[in-house]
Structure 1
């Protein structure tokens, strides 16, 4: 049997998992939701759900990957094999595996936008429009069908090239560089914004608590969606990274660090974006791509040293997006390696060609593409992974896996909480997403 690749260090793995979690949700949705749902009134349920999901689903997916040493198809298959239903498990495992590829393809379109804006920050093109309408027109042209082919293919090329170097030399080393740089750049931006007139009003808003908003079910629903999707539980990326772990790794401790740093990244984004908007008196009620590619560039253009701020901001966003894209493509690449018995480079090439072809075709519909995946596939994949690990493999197996690499056994409440709270939460995210048109 061919030796499975692995991470070279504990922090290499942790940084890779942080990189997979820190992405566009932290940057273009979290600050908006903090603004829309009462600042601290949103943060309280958000922290609660991060703690819940980080201590259940994230740990479970890492343990399932490590225990089976495989991606979702073989992991689900191995679980169902214990009940004599291997083919059923393989079929169910295809859902998160295909979902990861589809999500990666959609994310490739977004990364093409980010790469164009990051390079444009250096050349001056990013801040060239004169007003909001100009930025909206530039973004609309770029985000149309076949509107950004070259930059999109370039972003995908760099991602696949990194993946060809493997887990240790490629994914790990890339995250060791990009994640620390991301945090350093955003800390710098946070300090810069703090000294701008009017920023204090933004800070007051972020940390205020309005009991009426806190009592609103919508605040809790969207805090749940934000935490769920931010921590990347979907039965694929966290699972596949876990499959590269040694038995000496303390998974609950690693999961806690991932949840902590992902939350820090989200808070940093809010501490930069909300006070920056407050300096102009603007209300932050625009989330999604419009925030990053229309409203923030227009704001940065008017700031002292706007060109430098744009460079720092979009390079940081580029690094956050690229680390997430690496994770999304890794699950289908590993699946191709396992099922077609291809080497690392050919498997990357196959997935890269599929990613290039499909991502070019969906440029004009990428928003709808990503909505379908986040509403249906991600919570379904997370729930299935939880069912496989905590119910099909069973309590004894789950406890054995979670206690590997630990000096003391993890809490005895771990499996019951995952069975009776976390898995129903996955079902709730699916139901609420369908009912409300998405909560992620």
Structure 2
């Protein structure tokens, strides 16, 4: 059976960007930027995005396009006879399932908040009451399960329509709507009285802030954000490489996707920092920024209920774009491995994802006393740690070594595939960098994740802050 292809280049770019663009861009990026000094952090982040994320994205796309398969079979197709690279496919597939085990719950929170904003549930509440609302949402098992199932049904519903008629067509509409909503929200935010200080914090670098937070700490925070924002290492991008032709080079396409991904993160900052400045709210308040801080900001704003609703529908689109992209990947595993129909793959995986997503919900309710990583950690933290701190960096290392070592697919095969077609070429002079230096950087990201998680005092002494 011939592999279905995207109907247009725009479809490929928007869907690949949609996979990269998620709650990491519009939730994690602003609060990490707030914590690590604003504009100076953004500069370092952009540098790392170019030298770290971009080469690995090209490699994932190249493996997908050359093999015409998902991560379930791509290594089997390209590896030298007798080698064992294909063992990684189980980890790659596990990464996609693990990501969806908590992403569906967080996507459900976004939809919940959209509905609450439309209903006016936050109107008249003080700051403490707004904060208590998030606790109320995460403590209601039935409501969380309901919205998680809604997200799963919508995601697989889109995928069931096929690559072109479902995933491509609807993601195009969703991503275009997301950009329009973001621009409208950003214009509203930067025109608020008192927004100038927030803009200065976000756009004018102050290296003194970098020293305050610890230079090493700031650099590693930027390194981590640049690495995780593109969801590289679990084959989530490779699948879209298998759906495109060879008329354009992969470096040029990867640059376009990275720019789209970065644009969304940067515009999210233009929404959040001026608004926080206008209402004297601290933008570095951590993960609660979206669910606690921003509803307070909207409460102070004229017509805030509707601006809040617009913000949370945009957040829902950001989450759903990633969910649809990863669901498409998950369906391709079943189709590649068993040869089953798309409808059958949807039916089986729909049930599987709902069941696999339940522990995350239970971690906030019935199993709230279970702290897998110590402290106040929950099941979501464990699932996120397994993906973000283990499978993404180690998977990226596998792709790097596979594409640069003669015992793998090899540099010559990779560069020939990556540079086929018109457009920007992957530079041949970068061979030493991607073969020897970049793997060390990725290993550092992996080690840093463990140090900051399990040895925070030692990490603080080592890197400052």
Task: Decide: shared fold, TM above 0.5.
Answer: yes
Q: Which residue of 2 aligns with 1:371?
A: 385
Report the secondary structure of 2:292's partner residue: helix
Partner of 1:133: 128
Corresponding position: 1:161 with 2:157 = yes
1:253/1:407 CA distance change after superposition, 3 Å:
closer
Q: Is the 8 A contact 2:252 2:425 kept in 1?
A: no
What is the CA-CA distance between 1:407 and the residue it aligns to? 6.2
Cα distance change, pair 223–8 in 1 and its aligned pair in 2 (3 A):
same
Query: Residues 264-413 of structure 1 correspond to what in structure 2 (within 5 A)?
Result: 264-288=263-287, 290-363=288-361, 364=363, 365-391=379-405, 392-406=408-422, 410-413=426-429
1:328 to 1:145, Cα distance in 2 relative to 1, 3 A: farther
After superposition, the Cα gap between the structure-2 partners of 1:55 and 1:359, relative to the gap in structure 1 and judged at 3 Å, is: closer
RMSD: 1.9
Distance (whole Å) between structure 1 residues aligned to residue 109 and residue 300 of structure 2: 22
Distance 2:81 2:429 in 1: 25
Residue matched to 2:435: 419
Give the superposition deviation at 1:260.
Answer: 0.7
Distance 1:209 1:283 in 2: 18
Cα separation, 2, equivalents of 1:255 and 1:24: 20
Deviation for aligned residue 1:70: 0.9
Structure 1 gaps of 5+ residues are none
Residue matched to 2:5: 6
Runs of 4 or more above 3 Å deviation = 212-215, 407-410
1:197 to 182, 193, 199: 193
SS at match of 2:321: helix
Offset at residue 259 of structure 1 (A): 0.8
Matches within 5 A, 1:132-151: 132-144=127-139, 146-147=141-142, 148-151=144-147
**CA 1:67 to 1:308, structure 2 compared with 1: closer, same or farther past 3 Å?**
same
Change in CA separation of 1:172 and 1:92 when aligned onto 2, cut-off 3 Å: same
After TM superposition, the structure 1 = structure 2 runs for residues 210-249 of structure 1, keeping only pairs within 5 Å, are 210-214=206-210, 216-249=215-248
Q: Which residue of 2 aligns with 1:108?
A: 104
Q: CA deviation at 1:36?
A: 1.7
* Cα distance in structure 2, aligned partners of 1:354 and 1:138: 30
Stretches of structure 2 that go unaligned for 5 or more consecutive residues are 364-378, 457-465
What's the secondary structure of 1:237's corresponding residue? coil
With over 3 angstroms needed to count, the CA separation of the structure-2 counterparts of 1:306 and 1:427, relative to structure 1, is: same
In 2, the alpha carbon distance for the partners of 1:132 and 1:408 equals 50
Aligned to 1:119: 115
Report the CA distance between 1:145 and its aligned residue.
6.9
Q: Provide the TM-score with structure 1 as the length reference.
A: 0.94
Q: 1 CA distance for matches of 2:232 and 2:124?
A: 38
1:371 shift after superposition: 2.4
Deviations 1:287-318 (A, max 9, x none): 22x22112111211121111220121011111
C-alpha distance 74-114 of structure 1, shift in aligned 2 (>3 A) = same
- Equivalence map 1:55-70=2 (5 Å): 55-70=54-69
**Quick check: 1:92 aligned with 2:106?**
no
Aligned length: 433
Pick closer, same or farther for the CA change 1:339–1:207 going to 2, 3 Å. Answer: same
2:463 alignment counterpart: none
Structure 1 counterpart of 2:168: 172
The range that moved more, 399-408 or 330-339, is 399-408
Q: Contact 1:146–1:360 at 8 Å: present in 2 too?
A: no
Q: Give the whole-Å Cα distance in 2 for the aligned partners of 1:65 and 1:246.
A: 11
